[in-house]
Structure 1
Amino acid sequence: MATFPRRRKPSVPKAKGGKLSRFSKIGRQRLDADGNPMRRRGIYLLPNAFTTAALFCGFYAIVMAMNQRFEHAGWAIFIAMILDGLDGRIARLTNTQSEFGAQYDSLADMVSFGAAPALVIYEWSLRGLGKFGWLAAFVYCAAAALRLARFNTNIEVVDKRFFQGLPSPAAAAMVAGFVLMMTDLGFSGTELPWISWCIALFAGLTMVTNVPFYSFKDVNFRKSVPFIVVFLIALALALVSIDPPKVLMPLFVIYGLSGYAVYAWRLAKGKPVNIVQSADEPVDPSERR
């Protein structure tokens, strides 16, 4: 009776001492030079669908601004902000993080939180200022691009508890929230050109500062929290639901000023204000999408 040789199982490359070489201990996930898991290069449907939806909202905001429908444009930016907060979390929960997803997310953010808010504030209020108007809008747009580029390059060396400069979604929410609040109060953009100019410049320049802004990334929602925390979250949701246009703008203005307060407090206490960590204290790579 004929016999056939058994099929040999593929072996995982090993280094000296029997340890896995350039592969993680779990499966065959490749490691980089520092021993961190390498990000996959595939394209995954679920997280990128949320990124595409956020990109659509940014594009929709631009179209609405060009058609003088600024309320629709403002809400589209806020919806893009929500979707942008979901895509990375979904990628981590479903273990579908990839280099493509990270790059695609940055490009979508540039449209939704860079170009769209700049065009909305320009069409709503800054057009009448001529060169000063489009210059402020351009400063905001360029600052958003620089902020996103710096985030991508510094993500492994920045303290995960803080953002380096105002995050672009928060800056976009400040601009869009101002348009929504003033529109809800019955003001026209032509009545507030210089206030809009200051808002655009403040949001843009704050994005490219080194001022630390709390990121809330160290908040673990899976662990038990004090009752007061649950109460404050419920109170915040109730306040926003009462009159969103009049509540969202002040909230993001407070957040935009909070970074300067933290900076001044750390400076007064003699604590380091630089949130960029040294090479021997890298940020947890799992925080990166």
Structure 2
Amino acid sequence: MAEHDSTTEQPQSDPFEVVEAEHRTGARHKGVYLLPNLFTTGALFAGFYAIVAAMNGLFEAAAVGIIVAGILDGLDGGVARLTNTQSKFGAEYDSLSDCVAFGVAPGLVAYSWALTELGKFGWMAAFIYLACAALRLARFNVQAESTDKRFFIGLPSPTGAGLVATMVWLGASRGIDGNEVSWLVALVVAGAGLLMVSSVRYHSFKEFHIGRVPFKVLLGVIVAFAIVFLDPPLVLLTVAVIYVAVGLLLSLWRIRKGTPQA
């Protein structure tokens, strides 16, 4: 009779399996949470679509793709919190999706629309934006637990992407040739990138939670939607510019008063 190996074989884990921890019971389950990661995948797809659309000269569609990515990115975190499905995998996946949708896509869309005629200066401005977006996301990941939740340190990457996208959307919808405003676009793109890695504080509005609200608030939201749909690119660009300007003005005011930035 042949001798049997006395050692017990250990089951080999699949290298593509992800183990998530259940927050309430502490039990560990194989797999990933589907619902929030679907929103993240949608944002990633919208960013990829924006790149493809820009390559084909569809700049309005490309800009809308980035805006849609921003909406989906705002939903995935909220859905994860509401359904108690936050996970480390989801956070990492969201960060990678953001780098594509709010870093690569806006830089390439702006470059394709207006910066090609500037040669090296054009792709340099686009690269500054992309590199700063990646640095902004990396810094957010390591500072997320140690900063005031009411504020972002540096311009949030979705807002920076929205600023660039709505600028392209407004120009393309008005029939403006991007090459006619190439230097302005380069300044905005590079400036948005540098603001993302700055120490300027921007309000996060995270203290406002979805739930029961007064009737006036609901009416205000309806009016806001109506105003946006009057002229989406102009209204959204105006909102983005005001948000950027308010953060800068408040930072200058704090510097004048001698208040530390962060």
Q: What range is the shorter-chain TM-score in?
A: 0.7 to 0.9
Q: Give the whole-Å Cα distance in 2 for the aligned partners of 1:223 and 1:155.
A: 28
- How far has the Cα of 1:234 moved from its partner? 3.4
Residue 99 of structure 1 pairs with residue 88 of structure 2: yes
Q: Give the whole-Å Cα distance in 2 for the aligned partners of 1:137 and 1:104.
A: 24
- How far has the Cα of 1:224 moved from its partner? 4.2
The percentage of aligned residue pairs carrying the same residue is: 52
Q: Give the whole-Å Cα distance in 1 for the aligned partners of 2:109 and 2:259.
A: 39
Residue type of the alignment partner of 2:122: G
Counterparts of residues 30-69 of structure 1 (less than 5 Å): 42-69=31-58
- How far has the Cα of 1:269 moved from its partner? 3.8
* 1:265–1:67 distance in 2 versus 1, CA, 3 Å: same
- How far has the Cα of 1:193 moved from its partner? 0.5
- How far has the Cα of 1:27 moved from its partner? 5.2
Q: Give the whole-Å Cα distance in 1 for the aligned partners of 2:234 and 2:24.
A: 51
Which of 26, 29, 43 in structure 2 is aligned with 1:29? 26
Paired residues of 1:40 and 1:98 also in contact (CA < 8 A): no
Paired residues of 1:62 and 1:119 also in contact (CA < 8 A): yes
Q: Give the whole-Å Cα distance in 2 for the aligned partners of 1:254 and 1:29.
A: 45
Deviation string 1:182-217 (CA, Å, 9 cap, x unpaired) is: 112221111111011111011100000010000000
Gaps of 5+ in 1: 1-23, 31-38, 275-289
* 1:40–1:205 distance in 2 versus 1, CA, 3 Å: farther
Which of 173, 176, 196 in structure 2 is aligned with 1:187? 176
- Normalized against structure 1, the TM-score is what? 0.78
- How far has the Cα of 1:92 moved from its partner? 1.0
Paired residues of 1:77 and 1:112 also in contact (CA < 8 A): yes
Structure with higher Rg: it is 1
Residue type of the alignment partner of 1:47: P
Name the structure 2 match of 1:248.
236
Q: Where is the helix percentage greater, Structure 1 or Structure 2?
A: 2
CA RMSD of aligned residues (A): 2.1
Residue 119 of structure 1 pairs with residue 116 of structure 2: no
Residue 87 of structure 1 pairs with residue 84 of structure 2: no
- How far has the Cα of 1:95 moved from its partner? 1.1
Q: Give the whole-Å Cα distance in 2 for the aligned partners of 1:103 and 1:57.
A: 18
- Normalized against structure 2, the TM-score is what? 0.86
Gaps of 5+ in 2: 1-21
Residue 144 of structure 1 pairs with residue 133 of structure 2: yes
- How far has the Cα of 1:221 moved from its partner? 3.3
Aligned residues: 241
* 1:210–1:70 distance in 2 versus 1, CA, 3 Å: same
